Structure 1
Amino acid sequence: MSSATLNELDARYHFACDVARTAASRAMAWYQQRHQLVTEHKKDLQDVVSEADRNVEQLVKHLIHERFPDDAVLGEESGGEISGARFIWVVDPIDGTSSFLNGLHNWCVALAIVCENEAVIGVVSDPNHQETFHACRGKGAWVNDKRIHAHSAQQLNQGLLGLSSSNSQPAAALTSFIDALLAQGGMFIRNGSGALMSAWAAAGRLLGYYEAHMNPWDGLPGIVLMREAGGLTNDYLSHEGLKRGNPVLLANAELYPQLRALLPEQPTL
């Protein structure tokens, strides 16, 4: 466990919530003029970035460096030097860019803070629904000012599972998991934003969330949120998760092992 003091965490926790809301407001301004945005493709045609992503990330980095100049920032679009830093902010300026560009309301600003290889703060801000999900180690999980908890289901057929795919993983593994889930009477949704679905899982709106590989800026916020909401998660930061990413599996204590049993053996699950 990291040795961060309560004062250090409190200061960053409150500021992280403010930064996420400010960034979400900036992103919403871009969203309202999305038809004018210049977009580019990264790894493939499904991997899109726009000038809005870059602009919002620049804003977040500026705000963090101004308040906490010794903290490092790792952004999806611009990267960042993190070696030697005690506190590392991990930022996705717009998670769900494809939804964003196509006028769907399933996108968010996502950020997390890692201290000494422990994820200690997670924030997901959804301006379309005026909701900010936030959690800090030992303080519980919240949406705005309301406490949230993981779903109380005991079986996989008692709700919806959040699910997403990763182009870096074989499709057969995902389809095998879906087959097994459906065979147990389960059902799933995919909305285009893994960070937002994992926040919904922490809020008990979904049974849980699974993705075979997530980058840290998408995966870490939900890890903190679910743990503070009383659920279980995999050890995301093991095996250099901060650098290479890892699978993400989130659910309550009853459902986590049931979901785990449907998946192939992976060292971080």
Structure 2
Amino acid sequence: MILDDLAIDQREAFCLDLARSAAILALAGFERQAGQPIGMKGPQDYLTETDGAVEQHIRNRIATAFPQDGFLGEETGGTPGDVAWVVDPIDGTANFARAIPHFCISIAFVANGEVQLGAILNPATQELYFARKGRGATRNGQSLRVSPTTDLNATSFELGWSNRVPLARYIQALTALFEAGSNVRRSASGAMALAYVADGRTDGYAELHMNSWDCLAGLLLVREAGGVTGPFLSLGGLLDGAPVLAASPAVAAALSAATGIALLTQADILATPNQPTLTTLRTA
């Protein structure tokens, strides 16, 4: 199914309203969560009741407004299809569970073989990042550009950690970045980290394994703010996850070299089929 501009216009307005309504639920849950026991899905993998409540809210609203659209969420899964919403109800759950106000709702909309819309909203700060393909990226309506940093000794990168890859690979990448002269941080929300790259607050972000609901919105934000990214969906990232890289252009090669994550090339873009399904997408 190919969507025209009017159909995407409708989903753009809906996406913004959806993010804001979900943020009300998330913020209420954040305020209730403070001081409460922390549930776990696995090692360093936190779970709160707000995750499920926010995702169900988002899923229900999409099903009502656009019943023909597919859905893929972190908590409840789904079958994406060619037109789909890809959602993380609370990214940065470890922060959320420990009353740290650095977490977000991440919503991406994919159609016509590409990510068309991306929204990342931190309910605690009310910063709403939004991008539409070909129309730029914004924070609370103000245009964004990635940082102009060119000197590696002035860079500040963020490196995400995943227990899906050997710890030695993470330590190797971290060491390489420090040796290159960069500052490296980790704030425990990959989606927010990508938004910060788009906003010029960080020069680049990389994670050796990331899920699609964590990164599709953020990758679109970075590209629309003038940054560069690595391939993601062409590596099977939609359903299985894949490495993620996003950075300002002048320092992207250094981040790629340190992490071993390739940059998206023009050949990747040209290899995109004319009418791909989500499972055959070549760019993200």
Q: Same fold (TM over 0.5)?
A: yes
Residue 73 of structure 1: how far off its partner (Å):
1.1
Identity of aligned residues (%): 37
Structure 1 265/21 Cα, relative in aligned 2: closer, same or farther at 3 Å?
Answer: closer
1:104 equivalenced with 2:100 (yes/no): yes
Is 1:80 the counterpart of 2:54 in the alignment? no
* Matched-pair contact (CA < 8 Å) for 2:226–2:248: yes
Q: 1:1-269 residue pairs with structure 2 within 5 A?
A: 3-35=2-34, 39-42=38-41, 44-82=42-80, 85-264=81-260
How far is 1:116 from its partner?
Answer: 4.1
Structure 2 segments unaligned to the other structure (5+ residues) = 266-284
Distance 1:265 1:252, change over 3 A: closer
CA RMSD, Structure 1 to Structure 2 (Å): 1.9
Change (3 A) 1:242 1:265: closer
Residue-pair matches, total: 265
Cα distance, 1:239 vs. partner? 2.6
Residue 4 of structure 1, CA deviation: 3.4
Displacement of 1:39 = 5.0
Indicate the SS of the match to 2:233.
coil
Could you state the TM-score of these two structures normalised by the residue count of structure 1? 0.93
Q: What letter corresponds to residue 71 of structure 1 in structure 2?
A: D
Structure 1 letter corresponding to 2:7: E
TM superposition score normalised by structure 2? 0.88
Between the aligned partners of 1:265 and 1:213, the Cα distance in structure 2 is: 10
Classify the secondary structure of the residue corresponding to 2:68: coil
Letter in 2 for 1:50: T
Look up the SS of the partner of 2:235 in the other structure: coil
